[in-house]
Chains A and B, each alone.
Chain A
Amino acid sequence: MPHRWGMAVDLDRCTGCGACVTACHAENNIPTVGDSQAARGRAMHWIRVERYWEGEYPDVTLKFRPVMCQQCDAAPCEPVCPTYASHHTDEGLNAQIYNRCIGTRYCANACPYNVRFFDFFHPQWPKPLDAQLNPDVSVREVGVMEKCTFCVQRIHAAAIDAKAANRELKDGEIQPACVQSCSAKALVFGDLNDPESEVSKLSRSDRGHKLLDDLGTLPKVTYLNRPQA
Chain B
Amino acid sequence: MNEALAQRISDDLLRPVVTTTWKFWLLVAVLGSIVAMGLGTWFYQMYMGFGLTGINMPVYWAFYITNFVFWIGISHAGTLISAILRLVNAGWRRPVTRCAEVITVFALMIGALFPIIHLGRPWLFFWLVPYPSERLIWPNFRSPLVWDFFAINTYLTGSLLFLLLPMIPDFALVRDKTTGWRKKLYSVLALRWQGTTKQWHRLESAMQIMAIAIIPVAVSVHSIVSFDFSMAVVPLWHSTIFAPYFVTGAIFSGIAALILAMATLRKVLHLEEYLHPVHFQNLGKLLLMMSLLWTYFVFAERLTAWYGNEPSEVEALIVTQSGSFAPLYWTMVVCNFVVPFVILSLRKLRTITGCVIASSTVLVGMWLERFLIVVPSLSHKYLPYTWGHYRPRPVEIIITISTFAAMMLLYTLFAKLVPIISIWELKVGEHPVAAGKAAELREHPLWKANP
Contact = CB atoms under 8 A, between A and B. Distances in A.
B50 A82 contact: no
Contacts of A65: 385
Contacts of B60: 105, 108-109, 118
B232 interface: yes
Nearest to A86: B140
Contact of A106 (B58, B139, B143, B149): B143
Contacts of A50: 383, 385-386
B304 interface: no
Contacts of A40: 54, 56
B134 to A, nearest CB: 13
A101 B121 contact: yes
Contact of A41 (B59, B128, B233): B59
Contact of B232 (A48, A109, A142, A212): A109
Interface residues of A, number: 46
Interface in A192-229: 211-212, 215, 217
B385 to A, nearest CB: 4
B142 interface: yes
Nearest to B145: A82
B147 to A, nearest CB: 9
Interface string A106-125: 10111011100111111000
Contacts of B50: 103, 118, 120-121, 142-143
A57 interface: no
Contacts of B228: 106
Contact of A102 (B48, B127, B384): B127
Given A80-B231, A102-B127, A118-B50, A108 B58 contact: yes
Nearest to A112: B382
Interface string B372-407: 000000100111111011000000000000000000
A118 B120 contact: yes
A182 interface: no
A191 to B, nearest CB: 27
A217 B382 CA distance: 13
Interface in B21-70: 48-51, 54-61
Contact of A103 (B51, B119, B386): B119
B210 interface: no
A76 interface: yes
B314 interface: no
A79 B142 contact: yes
B56 A79 contact: no
A105 B58 CA distance: 10
B232 A110 contact: yes
Most chain A beta carbons < 10 A, residue from B51, B56, B381, B389:
B51
A15 interface: no
Interface string B94-122: 00000000000000000000010011111
B166 interface: no
A102 B381 contact: no
B435 interface: no
A108 B232 contact: no
Given A84-B137, A108-B57, A102 B120 contact: yes
Contacts of B4: none
B49 A83 contact: no
A41 B57 contact: yes
A67 interface: yes
A80 B143 contact: yes
Contact of B56 (A42, A106, A112): A42
A81 B61 CA distance: 15
A100 B232 contact: no
Given A109-B60, A113-B382, A215 B119 contact: no
A100 to B, nearest CB: 7
A104 interface: yes
A117 B121 CA distance: 15
Nearest to A145: B120
A143 B50 CA distance: 7
A145 B228 CA distance: 18
Interface string A53-88: 000000000000101000000001001111110000
A144 interface: yes
A114 B140 contact: no
A142 B49 contact: yes
B144 interface: yes
Contact of A109 (B49, B127, B128, B234): B234
A82 to B, nearest CB: 4
Contact of A114 (B48, B124, B137, B381): B381
Given A83-B128, A121-B51, A110 B121 contact: no
B376 to A, nearest CB: 13
A142 B124 CA distance: 13
Contacts of A217: 233
A51 interface: yes
B61 A105 contact: yes
A37 B57 CA distance: 11
Contacts of A103: 50, 119-121
Top 3 A-B pairs, shortest CB-CB distance? A103-B120, A143-B120, A41-B56
Interface of A: 37, 40-44, 48, 50-52, 65, 67, 76, 79-84, 100-106, 108-110, 112-114, 117-122, 142-145, 211-212, 215, 217
15 contacts: A51-B385, A79-B143, A80-B144, A82-B140, A84-B137, A102-B128, A103-B119, A105-B60, A118-B60, A119-B120, A120-B50, A120-B51, A120-B55, A122-B49, A211-B383
Given A42-B56, A101-B120, 7 more contacts: A40-B54, A51-B385, A82-B143, A113-B382, A121-B49, A142-B121, A143-B120
